[in-house]
Structure 1
Amino acid sequence: MLAANILLSLAMFAVFALIAGGIYLWRKQDDSQKGLLMIAAAIVILANVLIWTV
């Protein structure tokens, strides 16, 4: 059970990092598609974490 908690915590850190990086890249005009893909990946990981916690 401890390993699952650690992995879920790492996944949430990854979500925050992906969202921050995605917003940063999205604001730059030349890398907006990569930023949106990073935000989409963060949403997918967040959905997985929510599923595993329920």
Structure 2
Amino acid sequence: MNTIAAAAPAIAMLAAFACLIGGGVLIAKKRDVRKGTLMLVMAVVLIANVLIWTL
């Protein structure tokens, strides 16, 4: 496995955590609930992808 393939799950998890935090803030402050919800869905999809990659 080359270095980019080894780093991809870690980068995806960082992106998932950023999306979880950002989406939560958007929903909590009622700034843009639709975009916040989409960010939470994207975080779930990223986490599912990482689980698939690592199994």
Question: Which TM-score applies when normalising by structure 1?
Answer: 0.90
Of 3-12 and 43-52, more deviation after overlay is shown by 3-12
Inter-partner Cα distance in structure 2 for 1:29 and 1:20: 14
User: How many residues of Structure 1 are paired with residues of Structure 2 in the alignment?
Assistant: 54
Inter-partner Cα distance in structure 2 for 1:14 and 1:38: 10
| CA offsets 1:2-50 (integer angstroms, 9 cap, x no match) | 3212111100000000000000001122311111110000000110010
Root-mean-square deviation over aligned CA pairs:
1.0
Q: Which has the higher helix share?
A: 1
Inter-partner Cα distance in structure 2 for 1:19 and 1:9: 15
Moved runs in structure 1, 4+ residues, more than 6 A? none
Unaligned 5+ runs, structure 1? none
Are residues 1:28 and 2:29 paired? yes
Q: How does 1:9-24 map to 2 (within 5 A)?
A: 9-24=10-25
Inter-partner Cα distance in structure 1 for 2:8 and 2:28: 30
Question: Which TM-score applies when normalising by structure 2?
Answer: 0.89
Unaligned 5+ runs, structure 2? none
Q: Percent identity?
A: 46
